[in-house]
Structure 1
Amino acid sequence: MRPIDLAREHGLSAQAIRNYDDAGLLPPAERSATGYRRYTPLHAQALRAFLALRAGHGYRQAVEIMHATNRGDLECAYRLVDAAHVALLAERGTRAEVATALGTLAGTAPPVVDGPPLTVGELARRLGMHAATLRAWETQGILHPGRDRATGYREYGPDCIRDAEIARQLRQGGYQLSQVAQFLDSLRTAGGADALAIFLASWQERLTTRSRNLLAGAAQLDTYLTMLDRVR
């Protein structure tokens, strides 16, 4: 087969195939008497494996997997594949924690109330806790108070007051500081509880898509490995 023969299946150019070959993503190809590359079904499957792996692992990781496979270092290739699944599992756990926290706060999350900023002492009295706890929450990335330009003292505006009240509710529910920080970071990124619910649904879709892509990549890689076993 010629480069264009491999390219047509994926809507690529012949030059892209040559680039992938030069990058070591395909097994070594024989050359004709005139110097043209000659590919086999093994090369076609290597290309399928790389493109499928790229969809789930990303370009750089897919390149590393193919390099390890083509040099016969299957232990390295398996570790790279396993690491992606471990990372995906951890991300699923993070999303589940955020979703659970959102459910805990449903109907109880305090709204943002306009008003002058509070000092650390005033906010501590409002929440019924020590000022040192609020400072510790700041260190953990839970709160992000501003500073008075003249005095340098902390100022807790409406958004920060809301975050502190949410954090108190979550802590009372047994959530760890890291979980509280994760939830509030997601809440700020999404733009509020309603937006966060949409964000979580989209996040779940992305996780599902990546899971399917990882499975598809593994299937194509397995077929490639089977073909390599036959020729080695």
Structure 2
Amino acid sequence: MPDESALRTVDVARESAYSVQQVRDLERLGVIPAAVRSGNGYRAYAPVHVQALRAYRGLAGAVGPVAARQLMADLWTRTVTEAAASINAVHVGLAREGDEVLRAQQALWAIESEAAHHGAVETEAAHHSAAEGADTMTITELAAALGVRTSTLRFWEREGLVTPERVTSLRARRYDAPAIGAARIVAALRGSGYGIPAVRDIIDSLHSLQEGGGPERVRHILVERLDRIGARSVELLRAGADLAAVLDSLTPARDPAPAPA
């Protein structure tokens, strides 16, 4: 006797808002489990196939279609606990991306704060070097102005964060106004808890972005990125009920409950 609850390919397509060909393609890719074949060779799907396709749509909006296809294909081979952990990892990843953007915003604010004080730094540099007629600072003067060791400035130089001018005869370091400004930015970021790789990435990104529009452009890009992360998070939440249905469909015997005490 035929299963009256079985769905045809066209039924699944209609309920999931995919085309018949897309349903077949996503089945072939493992996004949904293989349909049962009836005696006449036609595919017979279950409601969970529709729910899996809806879940895939939300995941694709959250992490992209390639990662979503891989995740969905993996879910069918995992225990309930493992599958739930995979989905939780997506939530964690989006939260981490959001945190990174917020930290970048904080870094931009720190940099702009340092820029507001840049005139005072230049005045300080001029005061220290007035006798030489140059708007520069020695490594000792700059270290004192920043409240760091001279060895710290040398380390930042080795890491490519601050590039001083040099007096070629003695190889003595002298810092011009741009180098002084860069040193103050590095000091601000380090003081805010940023590691050297993060400081380097931020400075490189800001230099690149500032060439294309300055701090306002950087701020706009960061806001746009936060908006995209928010939209992706909404897509993931929208997929939640369908993902739960997929987990419920996994064979309970593959994830046994602990025996009562």
Closer, same or farther in 2 for the Cα pair 1:20/1:132, shift >3 Å?
Answer: same
Structure 1 stretch displaced more, 8-17 or 216-225: 8-17
Pairwise CA distance, 1:161 = 5.3
Counterpart Cα distance in 2 of 1:156 and 1:13: 64
Pairwise CA distance, 1:133 = 2.7
Larger radius of gyration: 2
Counterpart Cα distance in 1 of 2:19 and 2:229: 31
Partner of 2:133: none
Counterpart Cα distance in 2 of 1:144 and 1:4: 63
Q: RMSD value over aligned CA atoms?
A: 3.8
Q: Which of the numbers 67, 72, 76 marks the counterpart of 1:70?
A: 76
1:146-161 map, 5 Å: none
The 8 Å contact of residues 37 and 43 in structure 2, kept in 1 or not, is answered as yes
Paired amino acid for 2:227: E
The 8 Å contact of residues 140 and 177 in structure 1, kept in 2 or not, is answered as no
Q: Which of the numbers 240, 250, 259 marks the counterpart of 1:218?
A: 240
Partner of 1:23: 29
Pairwise CA distance, 1:80 = 1.4
Counterpart Cα distance in 2 of 1:193 and 1:75: 45
Counterpart Cα distance in 2 of 1:157 and 1:7: 66
Q: Which of the numbers 57, 61, 67 marks the counterpart of 2:63?
A: 57
Q: Secondary structure at the match of 1:106?
A: helix
TM-score between both structures, scaled by the size of structure 1: 0.72
Pairwise CA distance, 1:196 = 1.7
The 8 Å contact of residues 7 and 14 in structure 1, kept in 2 or not, is answered as yes
The gaps in structure 1 that reach 5 residues or longer are 114-120
Please tell me whether residue 38 in structure 1 is matched to residue 44 in structure 2: yes
Q: Secondary structure at the match of 2:30?
A: coil
Counterpart Cα distance in 2 of 1:133 and 1:180: 14
Partner of 1:117: none
Please tell me whether residue 176 in structure 1 is matched to residue 182 in structure 2: no
The 8 Å contact of residues 114 and 184 in structure 2, kept in 1 or not, is answered as no
TM-score between both structures, scaled by the size of structure 2: 0.65
Partner of 1:118: none
1:62-211 map, 5 Å: 62-109=68-115, 110=118, 124=139, 127-128=142-143, 132-138=151-157, 140=159, 143=161, 145=163, 162-171=181-190, 174-178=191-195, 180-191=199-210, 192-211=214-233
The percentage of counterpart residues that share the same residue type is: 32
Paired amino acid for 1:58: G
Paired amino acid for 1:199: I
The gaps in structure 2 that reach 5 residues or longer are 1-6, 123-135, 255-261
Pairwise CA distance, 1:103 = 2.5
Counterpart Cα distance in 2 of 1:128 and 1:60: 50
The 8 Å contact of residues 145 and 155 in structure 1, kept in 2 or not, is answered as no
